[in-house]
Homo-oligomer: A and B are copies of this chain.
């Protein structure tokens, strides 16, 4: 195992440097003094260069080839596969193109911030055109190196081993299912009572900490802080989640905590002995599976009535409020409200995938040269009209809303919806295996839910490819079946986390 051991030594270092990178990034978003940004960017750039040097080093390729002939156990083999994958990605694009694109990413993102504020697409168009041209160059280089089509080569960074043909089938199916479901859900739902705010931030913090702890979040290895956009950062198994607090609506912070803790538990619960190697770094599993964990908590668990049966009394006690507006039923109505809207990040469980489906179509057309950047606003408005039946009043609420394309991240969006679909498959399987899960969640035993994910998903680290993992855990490939069924059940039939709806009914 000489060659393999060399790889382990090298990638223990890479992993540690990535953790350093994560901490610098977390600090920047949460507590860095405002004028530290330029210097921090420099520190992060140097770390990125060092990591890239270490990953792209030709010896890594040689050692990986040799290690392929060594006698390795299952985890070592998987570790080798992740390492080989990282090496392929690191060497796929020539260094000068990487640098050129990184510079263009930064310029375009900066320009986009102004353009978004002014809702002026033309202001960013010249830089965006340059960026799309570079994205296409990168796609070509990656496609050649990895032996997959252009778009697939980019998407592989976010949803490893998932191909556009898979996505076409899944999104095609959802595109025909969702409009009808949304229509019916909107018609069927009852308006919630307004929440009796304001809800003081320090009390929301107390509630969020209590919810996080109930979910199994370990504050001796993690933190809960505030940032402009909620996120989770796994610095190895030191896991830090952030939320923001809306004084009028505490349910948004609770949802955000559930989402971010979902990411955090995955980071935290990969096997201890592999946490210093790529196979034990959950990020290497790709965004799609990672998002499946946050969405398991955020959507499958925390948009459900059972969850709010447990959280409502906690909230009543902490805020010192009661009455129908603070009932589980009403809080659940807030958390599960379906509404066609322009902004992806504000979308609910049912409309969210629609936002992704048309972005996938558009970004793929741009990568393949079938959609010119200058035609994006018109194409955007036509696409959202087509699937959601609405037209944004301006580009700020249209094609300028998301940062992804303007910082050069193409192929990223599908992971969000794929994660949602996986989450439904996991939740279905969990409910089948734990018949009383509904009642237990209602009692606040959220670790029944998260423990199942930890055992079945987190503990596997990056041992399997995403599709293999799904089959091992659920016996089924990636499929929309469970997702559609659970949406239908939750929004058109009744509220239920278990296969039997008794628990929920009892409290209806």
Contact = CB atoms under 8 A, between A and B. Distances in A.
Interface in A352-375: none
A260 to B, nearest CB: 15
Nearest to A237: B39
Contact of A33 (B17, B42, B219): B219
Given A20-B24, A36-B238, A42 B276 contact: yes
A90 to B, nearest CB: 17
A507 interface: no
A43 B20 contact: yes
Nearest to A236: B39
Contacts of A43: 16-17, 19-20, 23, 236
A222 B49 CA distance: 27
A201 interface: no
A33 B236 contact: no
Nearest to A54: B50
A49 B17 CA distance: 11
A46 interface: yes
Interface in A184-208: none
A253 to B, nearest CB: 21
A32 interface: yes
Interface in A230-255: 235-238
A13 interface: yes
B223 A34 contact: no
Q: Is the interface of A mostly helix, strand, loop or mixed?
A: helix
A31 B276 CA distance: 22
Given A13-B46, A46-B13, A50-B50, A23 B34 contact: no
A236 B33 CA distance: 12
Interface size class of A (residues with CB under 8 A): 35 or more
A265 to B, nearest CB: 15
Given A42-B276, A46-B13, A276-B42, A238 B33 contact: yes
Interface string A271-288: 000011000000000000
Given A39-B237, A42-B276, A47 B33 contact: no
Contacts of A276: 42
Contacts of A219: 33
Given A39-B236, A237-B39, A27 B23 contact: yes
Contacts of A23: 23-24, 27, 43
Given A42-B276, A238-B32, A47 B17 contact: yes
A220 B33 contact: yes
A221 interface: yes
Nearest to A220: B35
Contacts of A40: 238
A500 to B, nearest CB: 39
A20 B20 contact: yes
A27 B27 CA distance: 9
A236 B49 CA distance: 19
Q: Which of A42, A45, A220 has the largest number of chain B CB atoms within 10 A?
A: A42
Nearest to A222: B33
Interface in A320-364: none
Given A16-B45, A20-B46, A43-B236, 16 more contacts: A13-B46, A17-B43, A17-B46, A19-B39, A20-B43, A23-B23, A27-B27, A33-B221, A33-B222, A33-B223, A36-B221, A36-B235, A39-B237, A39-B275, A40-B238, A42-B276
- By Cβ-Cβ distance, the 6 closest A-B pairs, closest first, are A16-B46, A36-B238, A35-B220, A16-B43, A39-B236, A35-B221
28 contacts: A12-B46, A13-B50, A16-B42, A16-B43, A16-B45, A16-B46, A16-B47, A17-B43, A17-B46, A20-B43, A23-B24, A23-B27, A23-B43, A33-B219, A33-B220, A33-B222, A33-B223, A33-B238, A34-B220, A35-B220, A35-B221, A35-B238, A36-B235, A39-B235, A39-B236, A39-B237, A39-B238, A50-B50
